Amino acid sequence: MKLKIYSPNGLMFEKDVTVVTVRTVEGEMGLLERRAPIIAKLKVDKVVAKDNTQTYEYVIDDGFLHCDGENVIIVTEDIKKEIDPHKYLGG
């Protein structure tokens, strides 16, 4: 499935991945291809995406996620290539 992450600066990340893990306001969620469609509000935390050979980790600000089973689109105020969300939050 295709993962795209947008910020106010435009498209920040785009890859074909096999799984995406995010933290929503309701808890952690793993997304696989052919998942039922969903729209979710995201919390400040890591987004972890994996393909067959690599793991990609970013920290995002609050945002929204849309998944239609083939595409995952994340819209966020900010994205950092930082794996410690506590550091991102200033903690």
pTM for this entry:
0.87
Residues 74 and 63: beta-carbon distance below 8 Å: yes
**Could you give the 3-state DSSP secondary structure of residue 33?**
coil
- Could you tell me where the DSSP H helices lie in the chain? 85-88
pLDDT at 19: 97
CA-CA distance, 67 to 81, in Å (whole number)?
22
CA-CA distance, 60 to 36, in Å (whole number)?
23
pLDDT tens string 8-65? 999 999 999 999 999 999 999 999 999 999 999 999 999 999 999 999 999 999 999 9
Domain holding 54, by residue range, is 2-88
Report the CATH number that the domain containing residue 30 is assigned in CATH: 2.60.15.10
Q: Domain count for the chain, please give it.
A: 1
Is the pLDDT at 89 greater than 70? The verdict is: no
